[in-house]
Amino acid sequence: EADAKLAWTVAQNDNVAIGGKDKIWLEVERIEIDPANAKKFAFIYKKAVWDFYQKPQFYLLPKHLEEAVFQKYGNEKQGYEKNSLYSTDPTNPGLYCGPYLIKEIKLGSHIIFEPNPLWFGKKPNIKKIIIKLIPSTAALEANLLSGSVDMISELSLPFDQALAFEKKVKEQNLPYNVNFRAGLIYEHVDVQLGNPKLQDVRVRKALVYGINRQELVQTMFEGKQEAAVHDLSPVDPWYTNDPKKIVIYEFSRPKANKLLDEAGWILDPKDGYRHKNGEKLTFQLMTTADNKPRELAEVYLQEQWKKIGVEITIKNEPARVFFGETVRKSLYPGLAMYAWLSSPDNNPRSFYHKDSIPTEANGFSGQNPPRWVNEEASRLVDEMDTTFDPKKREEQRHKMLYHYTNDVPVIPLFYRANISVTPKNLTGYKLTGSQYHATLHVENWNLK
C-alpha cells in the first residue's frame, strides 16, 4: 500500500520528469487497498479508459527508502531524480523486487546482477549475470568471440553484421544461435520543424520522394527487412499501406524536383545544389556514431539527396550524447536518424501530440522531437482515449496516419527485425517480438 501510494505521489509531482506522466500517473484518481490483503490494490481512474491493461509502467517505490529523499528534494526541479537512491545508492537491495539484485554498477562499463533471495517467483538458475556496455558495434563480435561476453542482447547487433555473423556461425560451427524475429522497431529520420527550410512541407515531401527505400533495404539487408511507409510495423494489427487512407511516397526523383522547384529552391548547375535568396539548401544529418548500418545509410541518403540538389553534411555523436541530449532535447539542427518502437493497439500520444514536444518546462519528457504540431492529429489522439470501440480506434489511428504521412514530420526508412545472439547451451530464452525485452523471463533461463 505505502509503496504504491508513494510511487503515485512522486510521479504526480511537477518537479519530477517522467515519461508518460499524463497518460499513466495523472489519470489515476486514487489507489484502493484490499482490506483483506495489503499487497493487493486497485487503480481507480478519473475517467473510464480502454487501455488500462497497457499501463505496466506503474513501478512501485520502496517507501522506507525513498520517501525521505522525496520529502527532502521534491521541491527542487529534478531534485528527486538526482538524489534518489536509484542514483546515489543503486546497489541497495531494498530498491528491487525482481528475481535479481544489482550487486555492482560502474557507469559506462558494466552492471552485475545476482539472484534476489526474497524473490517470490521461480528461483533463478543462473547465479550471476553481467551486463557490459560496449558502445561500438564493431567491438561486439570481437568481445563475443574472445569470450569477454557470452551473448548479445536485442537492439545491439546491426542487421548486416548479424547476417554476416550467422554465415560465420554456420561455416565455422560456432557455439551460438543468431536469433531473428519480426518486431516493432521503426528506423526513421526525424525532421527538425524548427528549421525554417524544413517548415515548408514541399521540401519535406521532396526528401521522401528522393529516397529509393526499396533499393536501400535490398542492398543493405538482402531484402530481409521491409521498407517503411509510416511508424506502424506490419506486425501491428493497425498497420495499413492503403493509399486511400495514407499518403504513399514511391521513389520519384521527378516529383521531388518538381516540389523543390515549386518551393523556390533553384538548382545551380555550377555546384549541383539548390539555392534560394542566396542560401544553399543544406541540412545536417545526425545519428549514433560507430553504428555501421546507420553510417552506411547516411552515405546512401546523402548520395540520393544530392541527386535532387540537396546538400547533406554528416555529424554523428556517441549514443549517450545523441539520445541523452541531442534527440531528447530536440537540439539537432536538421535531420536525426534513429529507431523507436511502440506497442500494438497503442495511442501514439507521446509521438503525435503537440503537448509531447520536449521542453524545459516538461523536463524534456516529451517524445515529439520534430516539434510536430497538427491540431487534428492531436484532437484524434485525445478522442481515442475515450473510444471504447476497437474498430473506431483503428479508424482514428488511420486518420492520424494520414496526417503523419501528409505532414512528414518524420521520414520513414525501414522496419527492423529483433536480433540477438545467444550461446547454444542457453535454454529458456526467446525474443518477444514486442517492445519488451527477453530479460522479462530471465528466471527461466538456464545453462546446460
CA separation for the pair 256, 330 (Å, rounded): 26
The cell numbers describing 268, all together, are: 545551380
What is the model's pLDDT at position 362? 87
Q: Is the pLDDT of residue 206 over 70?
A: yes
pLDDT over 70 (residue 22): no
- Specify whether the backbone of 186 is left (phi greater than 0), alpha (psi in -120 to 50) or beta: beta
pLDDT of residue 57 exceeding 70, the answer is no
Phi, psi of 33 (to 5 degrees): -95, 135
Task: Using alpha carbons, select from 62, 140, 147 the residue that is nearest to residue 98.
Answer: 62
- Give the pLDDT mean for 295-306: 97
Q: In 10 A of CB 68, how many CB atoms? A: 11
Query: From CA 100, how far away is CA 106, in angstroms rounded?
Result: 17
- Residue ranges, comma separated, of all CATH 3.10.105.10 domains in the chain are 183-416
For the segment 29-47, what is each residue's pLDDT rounded down to a tens digit? Answer: 888 989 999 888 888 888 8
Mean per-residue pLDDT for 263-282? Answer: 97
pLDDT of 389 reads 96
Cβ atoms of 203 and 260 closer than 8 Å? yes
Find out whether 124 and 117 touch, Cβ atoms under 8 Å. no
Tell me the pLDDT tens digit for each residue of 148-181. 999 999 878 888 889 999 999 999 999 999 998 8
Q: How would residue 55 be classed by pLDDT, with cut points 50, 70 and 90?
A: low
Condensed to tens digits (0 to 9), the pLDDT of residues 210-261 reads 999 999 999 988 888 899 999 999 989 999 999 999 999 999 999 999 999 9
Asked if residues 447 and 425 have their Cβ atoms less than 8 Å apart, the reply is yes
Over range 420-447, report the average pLDDT.
93
pLDDT at position 424 over 80? yes
Give the CATH fold of the 183-416 domain.
Answer: Dipeptide-binding Protein; domain 3 (3.10.105)
pTM (2 d.p.): 0.74
